[in-house]
Amino acid sequence: MPAPAARWDITTPARPGRLPGISQAGFRDRTTCPLDLPVIPYPAVTLAIDLGDGLIVDGSRDRQQGGSVVFGLSPGAVRARGQNIDCLQIRLSPPIAHTVLGTSLEPGGAFVPLDALWGRDATRILERMRAAASWEERFAIAEAALARRHEAGRAVDPEVAHAWRRMVRSLGLVRVEPLAAEVGWSRKRLWARFRSQIGLTPKRAAQLIRFDHAAHSLAAGQSVGSVAAESGYADQSHLHRDVMTFTGLTPTAVSTAPWLAVDDTAWATAPEHSRTR
C-alpha cells in the first residue's frame, strides 16, 4: 500500500480564485489499490465532485452514496471508498457555503448528493467537467458555477459572518458572550441566527475549529500533551474526548490519518475562512 500522500496526483489552481472563502484541489489516484479511509471533519463545507464514477461515501446507519456529494461541517462516522478515484474537491467557508448551496447542512446530515441541492445544474456541470481538457478548465467551470450561485444567493447576516471570522482567527478559543457583545446582539439571538445559517451552534463550531487545529498539529508530529496545551484544552483527556467525538478515533490514530496527510499539498494556499492553520 503506498504512503497516503504518494498515491495521489494533486493539482491546485495556478491563480487565486475570485471568490473569498473558496479553495479547490484536483485528486487523481496513481494506484489501483482500493481506497478506504475515514473522513476527518474540517471547519468548511466540502464538495466532492466525482469525475470518474469511482467514489462511494459510507455513512452511519448503513447509508451509502455514489457520485458527487457535499460533506457538512460535522459529518461524523463517514468513510470514503472506491478505486481509480478522479475527484475535484472544493472547500467552502460556511458563510459562503450557505449562499452558494442555498441552505446550511444540519449536523445530523453527514452528506447529501450534490444533485439534491443543485438539481439538473449539477448534472450539466459534471458533464462539462468530464469533457474538460485540463484541471485548470475544470477549476474555471467550478468557479463560474459558484460565482453564479453566489451572486443569486442570500448572504448570511454580517454579524454571523463576523462571528465565524473571529472564531477562525482565535482557533476556536473565543467565547460566545463577547462575540454577541461585539456584534450588538443578545447571546440568544447570536446562537439562533448562527445555528440556522451555519448549521452548527457557535459553541460546536468553535469546538470544531479548535479540533481542526489540534488534528493538524498531531499530524505534524507534535505530542498529545503539547497539542492539548497549545490548543486550549484543559488536559489530554479533554483533547481525547473531542477527537473521539469528531472522528471516532484516538489522537494517535488521527495523527497518521491519510485524510490529513495531503493537506500541505492540496490546501497550502487555502483562504483564511476555510483553513485554520
From the list 5, 12, 50, the residue with the least C-alpha distance to 31 is 5
2-44 pLDDT per residue, tens: 556 678 899 999 988 888 899 999 999 988 888 888 888 889 9
Contact 183, 211 (CB under 8 A): no
> Cell numbers at residue 266, please?
492540496
pTM for the model stands at: 0.90
Q: Provide, rounded to the nearest whole percent, the portion of the chain with pLDDT above 70.
A: 90
For residue 76, pLDDT beyond 80? no
Q: Where in the chain is the domain with CATH 1.10.10.60?
A: 158-255
38-63 pLDDT per residue, tens: 888 889 999 999 998 788 888 765 56
Q: Which CATH superfamily is domain 4-155 in?
A: Jelly Rolls (2.60.120.10)
> Cell numbers at residue 176, please?
460566545
Q: Which CATH number fits domain 158-255: 1.10.10.60, 3.40.50.2000, 2.60.120.10, 3.40.50.1980?
A: 1.10.10.60
Q: Where in the chain is the domain with CATH 2.60.120.10?
A: 4-155
User: What is the distance, to the nearest Å, from the Cα of residue 168 to the centroid of all Cα atoms in its chain?
Assistant: 13
User: What is the distance, to the nearest Å, from the Cα of residue 113 to the centroid of all Cα atoms in its chain?
Assistant: 15
